[in-house]
Amino acid sequence: MDGNSKDDALKALAARRWRVAGALTVAMLVAYLGFILLVAFNRPLMGLQFVPGLSIGIVLGALTILLAWVLTGVYMLWANRKYDPALDELRR
Amino acid sequence: MNPTNAGTRIGQPNLTAIVFFLLFVSITLAITYWAARKTKTTSEFFAAGGGISAAQNGFALAGDFMSAASFLGIAGLVATSGFDGLIYSVGWLVGWPVVTFLIAEPLRNLGKYTFADVVAYRLRQTPVRLSAAVGTLTVVVFYLIAQMVGTGNLIRLLFGLSYETAVVIVGAVMILYVLFGGMIATTWVQIVKAVLLLGGATALAGAVLYQFGFSPTALFSEAVSRYGPEALAPGKLVSNPLETVSLGVALMFGTAGLPHILMRFYTVPDAKAARTSVFYATGLIGFFYLVTFILGFGASVLVGRQAIIGVDKGGNMAAPMLAEVVGGTGFLGFISAVSFATILAVVAGLTLSGAAALSHDLWSSVVRKGHAPEAEQLKVARISSLLLGVLAIILGVVFKNQNVAFMVGLAFAIAASANFPALLLSMLWRGFTTRGAVASMLTGSLSAVLLIFLSPTVQVELLGHASAPFPLKNPGLVTIPLSFLVGWVVSLLAPEAEASRRFAEVEHRMHVGAGVPPKGAAPPDVAGPVAPGIPEAPQEI
């Protein structure tokens, strides 16, 4: 009995990892393509300074870099806290 | 090119630069000597025996990625055209999360030394490894040319040495690192270099911000009052919107296909360390790019665009000139030495990944069908490193005075189109076949090379024609989807039963790995057994 149910549980866990990884990838893609499309198609907006010396473009660019790091951190925390223990459980 | 009138000592021999550079070379050669005594197996040569920690690998990844092009190039671009530099910083960084989410762990669990291990895992070894090697070597060679040509020109400006001397020094020292110390030495060279580069750039940015009360907006405002509000808005770089998107896509997915980056995931003990190391690397590189942005604006305000362009039309001297203005000749020397060291380290990483493709993918797997003894593999790896090092020197001299920008673009576009789609499809899609993989990788490499040849960069800027048959400078927007499409269609045309049956094994191993070693045990023999591929007997997992 345990052979098959273990296999199924592993498959479910693997599918969950791909779902999380996929969702985070899409989040990164949307943010980045959003930034690139704004740069490409709305130059005046990106050049708008809402504080003297700080344009929307610069803030969005810096935020995209920050977001990339935060998303990587979110994935790492999820994988370390949820995925790895579940995997260890199944490995036994 | 010796602007004594500009009040800078750039282009004249600089004692501080030479002392710092000699110090860097002595320390890293001492590391190589230490590493050489530990490098006795192919696993140690290609993957440092899998014994590098996540934090160490994070610094090494960052070191491999932060080339002189991104340090001096982005600072120069920001100094001369303002905001546009940020487009590159962002594009180069956002590839890393994709690497973390989709590539790092499966790669670590499935492969041994190269990304071809993963693609070839359930497919036929010979054709897959041959085409993967074509893609890898093309990327490595173009990236090497760009770095070597960049080196020659930079060093002429920074140290006052001749172009050829600089290329030979870089080539020779790099050969020593790789030949004797393998991945262990190369990793430590990267770590030392990453710390120096991050420290130097941060100190320089601190010195700039000190003059503006540590307020970046005060610095940006000063740039606006000097060069107008255009400095903070997208400029001439984005005259063609599709061009911007294409460049962005190639930068993003190129990272996930760079052979010397992918190879780093085999130096850590397990998937968890692989994942954690990319988190460190992403933070370090992101921080570095933001700092570079401050340096660029700092240079445009404190040095002035005219003076920067007066020394080098490309603006590449912006950061060193800034160092001279805020910290004198000594600081200029330090930053110059760090730039030289940076090129040296990146070239070493590239050469090692090229040697892995030649020795592990072509010699051991294709020529000897996996029956080469350990000593022979190591010998072939060392010969390959030597050949690639000599080739890098020759190409560096031959391509002197060439425009290197298109070579870097080419390297990223090929990495994104040839390697990334095949890698992703082999991990995610049961129906992927040997023919599909070969078609995808070859289509990716060839279409990227062809379209770059037909692009305005080559046709208009290099050959002087009035117009180019292909409108975009970077072909990523066309070639990446094309490579996916070809891989998909060709696989559908002729299904491969064995490859599809063995997908379950790939799935299992991709997530579970080859087993986790007990705590405190010696590092495992990297990913355990070699990825077997179809011709060999199926193996137990």
Interface size between A and B, measured as CB pairs under 8 A: 153
CB-based contact, A62 to chain B, within 8 Å: yes
The rounded distance, in Å, linking the Cα atoms of B315 and B319 is 9
Query: What is the rounded distance in angstroms from the CA atom of residue A82 to the CA atom of residue A10?
Result: 14
pLDDT band, residue B275 (cuts 50/70/90): very high
From B176, B213, B216, select the one nearest B385 (Cα to Cα): B176
pLDDT band of residue B355 (cuts 50, 70, 90) is very high
- Most B-contacting residue of A11, A16, A39 (CB-CB within 10 A), to test interface: A39
- The pLDDT, as a whole number, for residue A90 is 81
Angle among Cα B190, B72, B166 to the nearest 5 degrees reads 70
Q: What is the least distance, in Å, from the CA of B379 to any CA of chain A?
A: 38
Pairing mode, if any, of strands A54-55 and A49-51? antiparallel
Q: How confident is the model at residue B535 (pLDDT cuts 50, 70, 90)?
A: very low
CA–CA gap between residue B190 and residue B140 (Å, rounded): 17
How would residue B315 be classed by pLDDT, with cut points 50, 70 and 90? confident
Which tokens sit at B152?
A: 């020659």
Q: How confident is the model at residue B405 (pLDDT cuts 50, 70, 90)?
A: low
- Higher confidence at residue B14 or residue B24? B24
| Residue B406 to residue B120: CA distance in whole angstroms | 31
The mean pLDDT value for B180-187 works out to 93
pLDDT at B530 over 80: no
Q: What's the rounded mean pLDDT across residues B196-207? A: 95
> Which of B90, B108, B275 to probe the A interface (max A CBs under 10 A)?
B90
Asked whether residue B495 carries a pLDDT value surpassing 60, the answer given is yes
3-state secondary structure of B228: coil
Supply the pLDDT for residue B538: 34
Q: Which residues contact A3 (CB under 8 A, 6 or more apart)?
A: none
Lowest mean pLDDT among A69-73, A83-87, B126-130, B402-406: B402-406
Nearest to B100 among A53, A75, A80 (CB): A75
Percent of chain B with pLDDT over 70: 92
What is the predicted pLDDT for the residue at B47?
A: 93
Instruction: Report in angstroms the alpha-carbon separations of B516 from A7, B110, B272, B274, B443.
Output: 19, 13, 10, 13, 37
Of A24-28, B414-418, B453-457, which gets the smallest average pLDDT? Answer: B453-457
Alpha-carbon span B156 to B439, nearest angstrom: 43
The region that residue B50 occupies, defined by phi over 0 for left and psi between -120 and 50 for alpha, beta otherwise, is left
d(CA B92, CA B412) in angstroms, rounded, equals 10
**Is it the case that residue B13 has pLDDT exceeding 70?**
yes
What is the per-residue burial (b if ≥16 Cβ within 10 Å, else e) of B92-131? bbbbbbbbbbbbbbbbbbbbbbbbbbbbbbbbbbbbbbbb
B218 touches chain A (CB under 8 A): yes
* Cβ within 8 Å of residue B377, ≥6 positions away: B42, B359, B360, B363, B364
pLDDT value at residue B524: 39
- Interface contact A44-B233, CB threshold 8 A: yes
Q: What is the ipTM of this complex?
A: 0.93
- Chain A CA closest to residue B290: A62
Q: Is the pLDDT of residue B513 over 80?
A: no
Record the pTM. 0.90
Q: How far is A59 from chain B (nearest CA, A)?
A: 10
CB B212 within 8 A of CB B58: no
Mean pLDDT of B30-40: 92
Measured between CB atoms, which of A37, A44, A52 is closest to B217? A52
- Given a cut of 80, is residue B146 above it in pLDDT? yes
Residues 6+ away with beta carbon under 8 Å from B537: none
3-state class (DSSP) for residue A49: strand
Q: What is the pLDDT of residues B276-293, one digit of tens each?
A: 999 999 999 999 999 999
Is the pLDDT assigned to residue B525 strictly greater than 50? no
Nearest to A25 among B101, B221, B244 (CB): B101
Does the beta carbon of A49 lie under 8 angstroms from any beta carbon of chain B?
yes
Q: What is the pLDDT of residues B439-458, one digit of tens each?
A: 999 999 999 999 988 988 88
Question: Distance, in angstroms, between A2 CA and closest chain B CA?
Answer: 16
What is the band of B238 on the pLDDT scale with cuts at 50, 70, 90? Answer: low
A53: confidence class by pLDDT, cuts 50, 70, 90: confident
Q: Name the residue type at position B346.
A: V
Using CA atoms, how far apart are residues B479 and B498, in angstroms rounded to an integer? Answer: 29
Mutating which of A17, A20, A76, A83 best tests the B interface, going by the most B Cβ atoms within 10 A? Answer: A76
